[in-house]
Structure 1
Amino acid sequence: SDEPLDEAMCCPSLDTLKTWLPILSWLPRYKLKWLQMDLLAGATVGLTAVPQVLAYAEVAGLPLEYGLYSAFMGGFIYTLLGTSKDVTLGPTAIMSLLCFSVVGGQPHRAVLLSLLCGIIQALMALLRLGFLLDFISSPVIKGFTCAAAITIGFGQIKNILGLKDLPPQFFLEVYYTFKKIPEARIGDVILGLICLSLLVMLMLMKKTLDSEAVHSNSTFSRKLVWVVATMRNALVVIAASLVAFSWEAFGHDVFTITGKTVQGLPPFRPPPTWDNTTNGTIVPFGEIVEGFGDGLAVIPLMGLLESIAIAKAFASQNDYRIDVNQELLAIGVTNIMGSFVSGYPVTGSFGRTAVNSQTGVCTPAGGIVTSVIILLSLAFLMPAFYYIPKASLAAVIICAVAPMVDYTSVTKMWRIHSKLDILPFVVTFLMSFWQVQYGIIGGVAVSGALLLYSTARPKITVSDYGSLVMQFSSGLSFPATAYLSHMVHSNALRASPPRSLVLDCCHISTIDYSVISEFRDMIRQFKRHNVVLIFSNLQPSVLEILLKADLEDMKYTEDVEEALQQLESGNVLDD
């Protein structure tokens, strides 16, 4: 078959080595046709990635070359270890913002953070802990991404306006941005608005096309429009740089430009385990790690969550499957190895992954082409980056994060789901403006509290058929024992006179020791009040547990109708 290796990538291998190195599953079947598509996709993503990662380094508060340092390792590592043909690893807006919030734009600490995050992620993969990501709910993710997009986007307004020395805290940044508007540089404002307009226009043009635009049966004009729209970031940044260079050549300081960047490939060396303060004091490893605080938990988890969500989305779209724990390993190893070339934490990029998929990539090998382009940029193009206007990079970032503000998700949650789903969204959204990691922690805490509340307060339906019938909508566990006791006492035992009760257990699949103890006490109290408690619709596994518990005077029937008949006739079985 000449189809991409979707099937080969989703079929489980019997060889342990192929499990740990997925490249061994698809490389022996590699075809020339796939090479052509991988080269095209890799080159397209590379030209998209270069201006993006330069802009994301700005978000992380790092010198621009650190964006490129962080972007090339993922292509090589993911080709060996990844299980998705579409995913591209590298700096993203959210990870850059998180990195800035933890290390405050200090390069040495950002590199060390990458090493530690990678170790945590790789250990999670080896211990098969991918299921922990299931505890971060969708409202928390939506709240965080919306707040992060607003924070990142507004943080670039200062570059559009040409303002400097604004505080990094969001609310202070908003205040001083508006306060300093009279100080805006007209050249930056005009160039920034033009870049924004061009990017939006090209983005809308691309939305009118689909992936068929790059296939052989498409017209040349459609292909050309698709290519131009796809590479819009690179084209706009190049055009803005030429404009800035022209003005600078004539001695006019009109735009705020990037300035000098370090040319050449980064040295391959272990990340620093210490740092210097501004006054020359050495900061030891332990103190640096202590300063990372909860960022050491938030950043690895968010990196994994972002990448795996992207991988699952494109796997579903293109009809193949991924291995979650193997994806964790690929991200972890990428961050570990990236720290040896001065990279900061990375994850899967939705925008670049979408470009990769739409261009028709067939295997993860497309990432190698992307990485080579980034390495060539580091080796030869860094002097040209001197003239990149900061306003153009700001426009790239704003257009990249704008789609993340998904306001429709709020109305959907309110209309379709439980109204309580809004609460973790709101908490995460608001707290993320204070500190992004606090927003995630707060949202997870609220989601956990709601989950515990639903466990402790299961829905119980009470019906009256002459005798009371009480049905549980979910399983019972120890947090629900107090609520169960309250419902039974208030509806049956405290009635005047006390009434017999049938417990419909059709939805109960598991019980624990606390629930069994509560059942024993309830049976004793019903007997004391001269009324009857009957269990019905017990699943075999639950019945077996109750029989082993040897509950004295326990009565049960196969269904509710039989229990009601026995209560009506007064002929209650002793079983």
Structure 2
Amino acid sequence: MMATQQLFRWFPILATLNGYDRDTLIRDLLAAAIVTVLLIPQSLAYALLAGLPAEVGLYASMVPLIVYGVFGTSNTLSVGPVAVVSLMSAAALGEVTASGTVGYLSAAAALALLSGVILAVLGALRLGMLANFLSHPVISGFITASALLIALSQFRHLLGVPANGDTAPELMASLWENINAVNNLALITGLGVVLFLYWARAYAAKLLKALGLSSSTADLLSKAAPVLGVLATIALSFWMDFETQQVALVGLIPAGLPSLTMPIISLPLLEALLVPALMIAIIGYVESVSVAKTLAAKRRQRIDTNQELVALGMANVGAGFSGGFPVSGGFSRSVVNDAAGAQTQFASIFTAVGIALAALFLTPFLYYLPKTTLAATIIVAVLSLVDFSILRKTWRFAKADFIAVTLTIAVTLLFGVEHGVACGVGTSLLLFIYRASNPHIAEVGLVEGTEHFRNIHRHKVKTIPEILTFRVDGRLIFSNIGVLEERIYTGLATNSQVKHVILMCSAVNEIDWSALEVLESINANLLDRDIQLHMSEVKGPVMDSLEKSSFLQKLSGGVFLSQYQAFSAVRIS
């Protein structure tokens, strides 16, 4: 029984086989067919965004989907190339391959493999909680800035001009230098697709409902608008012979399936890719698990975050072995997968089969696909990720978060995604350290007529000059005990009548050794001044720790069950 549970934990798809019937199969097949249609243009577009040949996007949408289907705990998450991870991959690969010592395709596969190994190891060690150390506002700021960079990078295809750069200033300067070389046909085609996609988002579902389709079917078909844009521009490109008019086309895409090979990773390549792989792994995981949790909540299902690390890691390992590049859970296609009625992880496996069939038989039809169409598709997709409201929200709620978000956005735009990720991780850690080092400490007094104690600056309370009481809202550890010490001595400096200091510990969950040593020092110092130190409402685990030391024997005052008992006892004395 135990072995079976372990098997089901590592391979969740086995659990879905119980009760897997014909109706579930039909629903999974239908969802897979719809997602396949959506995923083909997305895969091509994001491969080009990563600086890779279009077919690599198809390769990255086969094996990873199958592998995630086997290991993943989400029934609806669809894994494959995504915008932000593709941009991060392009930045990393551009630096690594600049010297010419390693090929771009080989480096891309190696990057996917390294990202996958990092994620799988973290999952095996049950370290899914590490993602919680990344501030969500900071991640939102990074994604917003990355989306703007992606949109800027695609303007060269939209305008039909050569341009390059990894930062917003570089991209804008490069576009401006080539503004006189704009290809009007590429621009009109791309803008037409942009306008159509925005129109489809706003009105397609309403139109389809007016034609008699059900609400769910209309919403689902409206999300397939990018496919219609691709088909229409392929036909237009063939009819008007875009190739002779200098409109860049996707061109020849080799038909066939990826070959399974081990990426060649040398020590210099490993050193160069390790940090980018770690960053891509973290951002990809956070984005993926956020989507998975959101969709699971709708269905009242549970996501195992540690197993998701393993699943996404193995999916990236699969991408590395099949000539792909780093992948993650995609929001748009996962939403479509959910709306299309996917019931189990088999929908992902069926989608991979659909992509494989497309790679075998449909690639000749993609020859005439204009790159401006894919650029328009990317621009519309990523601009939906831009969320400047986070600046207003954090400004109102927490100035520290506002500074962190603003800094992350600015660094990403001005210095590129790698610096942006480093800034995001750094500011998240600094925020964590700042908050851990600055717990809320309130001087409290008695609310008359009750046994409750509240902040003297927020409530009308009763205080006694001889009693000084502080409530600490957080752990007492090495990084913040000095703040409490300073508050106590400041309070004593402004009130010479104090005879008792009470620490209200109702919100203290931990006292570490460094904090204990400082408390012993405070106790001794107060005793020299003929002032007693007391503690109230000490939690069980904290009391257990204190009893293992000699602190309670040295404590000049007492330990009380409630703050009211402590206040009453020392007031009488």
Q: Is the shorter-chain TM-score for this pair beyond 0.5, marking a shared fold?
A: yes
C-alpha change, 1:523 and 1:224, in structure 2 (3 Å) is closer
Higher mean alpha-carbon deviation, 224-233 vs 62-71, is at: 224-233
1:492 partner amino acid: L
Deviation at 1:138, TM superposition (A): 0.5
Secondary structure of the 1:404 match is coil
Q: Distance in 2 between matches of 1:244 and 1:43?
A: 26
- 1:283-338 residue CA offsets vs partner (Å, 9 max, x unmatched): xx112122225202101111211111111110001111111122111111111122
Q: Please state if 1:263 is matched with 2:244.
A: no
Q: Please state if 1:337 is matched with 2:318.
A: yes
Counterparts of residues 141-540 of structure 1 (less than 5 Å): 141-205=139-203, 208=206, 219-220=212-213, 225-226=218-219, 228-248=221-241, 252-253=244-245, 255-273=247-265, 285-415=266-396, 417-433=397-413, 434-463=415-444, 464-466=463-465, 467-492=467-492, 495-496=495-496, 499-540=499-540
Q: Distance in 2 between matches of 1:564 and 1:307?
A: 51
C-alpha change, 1:543 and 1:370, in structure 2 (3 Å) is closer
C-alpha change, 1:42 and 1:17, in structure 2 (3 Å) is same
Residue pair 2:134, 2:425 contacting (<8 A) in 1 also:
yes
Q: Distance in 2 between matches of 1:86 and 1:264?
A: 27
Secondary structure of the 1:534 match is strand
Deviation at 1:541, TM superposition (A): 3.0
Q: Please state if 1:66 is matched with 2:56.
A: yes
Residue pair 2:468, 2:498 contacting (<8 A) in 1 also:
no
1:29 partner amino acid: G
- 1:1-37 residue CA offsets vs partner (Å, 9 max, x unmatched): xxxxxxxxxxx99622111111211113111111221
Secondary structure of the 1:555 match is coil
Deviation at 1:226, TM superposition (A): 4.3
Secondary structure of the 2:470 match is strand
Q: Distance in 1 between matches of 2:163 and 2:564?
A: 76
Residue pair 2:534, 2:555 contacting (<8 A) in 1 also:
no
Q: Which residue is 1:40 aligned to?
A: 30
Q: Distance in 1 between matches of 2:212 and 2:29?
A: 21
Q: Please state if 1:559 is matched with 2:556.
A: no
C-alpha change, 1:70 and 1:244, in structure 2 (3 Å) is same
Q: Distance in 1 between matches of 2:165 and 2:419?
A: 19
Deviation at 1:435, TM superposition (A): 2.4
Q: Which residue is 2:40 aligned to?
A: 50
Secondary structure of the 1:521 match is helix
Q: Distance in 1 between matches of 2:442 and 2:67?
A: 54
Q: Distance in 1 between matches of 2:350 and 2:75?
A: 14
Deviation at 1:498, TM superposition (A): 5.4
Deviation at 1:532, TM superposition (A): 2.0
2:263 partner amino acid: P
Gaps of 5+ in 2: 98-103, 445-462
Q: Distance in 2 between matches of 1:254 and 1:442?
A: 40
Q: Distance in 2 between matches of 1:75 and 1:544?
A: 50
1:131 partner amino acid: M
C-alpha change, 1:121 and 1:543, in structure 2 (3 Å) is closer
Higher mean alpha-carbon deviation, 459-468 vs 353-362, is at: 459-468
Higher mean alpha-carbon deviation, 127-136 vs 403-412, is at: 403-412
Gaps of 5+ in 1: 1-11, 274-284, 571-575
Q: Distance in 2 between matches of 1:71 and 1:317?
A: 25
Deviation at 1:254, TM superposition (A): 5.2
Q: Which residue is 1:5 aligned to?
A: none
Q: Distance in 2 between matches of 1:296 and 1:437?
A: 11
Secondary structure of the 1:479 match is coil
Secondary structure of the 1:89 match is strand
Q: 1:115 aligns with which of 94, 101, 113?
A: 113
C-alpha change, 1:461 and 1:386, in structure 2 (3 Å) is same
Higher mean alpha-carbon deviation, 497-506 vs 105-114, is at: 497-506
C-alpha change, 1:454 and 1:221, in structure 2 (3 Å) is closer
Q: Which residue is 1:3 aligned to?
A: none
Q: Which residue is 1:100 aligned to?
A: 90
Normalising by the residue count of structure 1, what TM-score does the alignment of the two structures yield?
0.89
- 1:422-453 residue CA offsets vs partner (Å, 9 max, x unmatched): 12211221111212132222122222222222
Residue pair 1:247, 1:254 contacting (<8 A) in 2 also:
no
Counterparts of residues 2-41 of structure 1 (less than 5 Å): 15-41=5-31
1:91 partner amino acid: P
Residue pair 1:423, 1:446 contacting (<8 A) in 2 also:
no
1:266 partner amino acid: P
Higher mean alpha-carbon deviation, 387-396 vs 176-185, is at: 176-185
C-alpha change, 1:478 and 1:420, in structure 2 (3 Å) is same
Q: Distance in 1 between matches of 2:319 and 2:564?
A: 66
Residue pair 2:149, 2:167 contacting (<8 A) in 1 also:
no
Residue pair 2:216, 2:339 contacting (<8 A) in 1 also:
no
Secondary structure of the 2:338 match is helix
Q: Which residue is 1:87 aligned to?
A: 77
C-alpha change, 1:227 and 1:177, in structure 2 (3 Å) is same
Percent identity (aligned): 30
C-alpha change, 1:534 and 1:41, in structure 2 (3 Å) is same
Counterparts of residues 543-558 of structure 1 (less than 5 Å): 543-551=543-551, 552-556=554-558, 557-558=560-561
Normalising by the residue count of structure 2, what TM-score does the alignment of the two structures yield?
0.89
1:257 partner amino acid: L
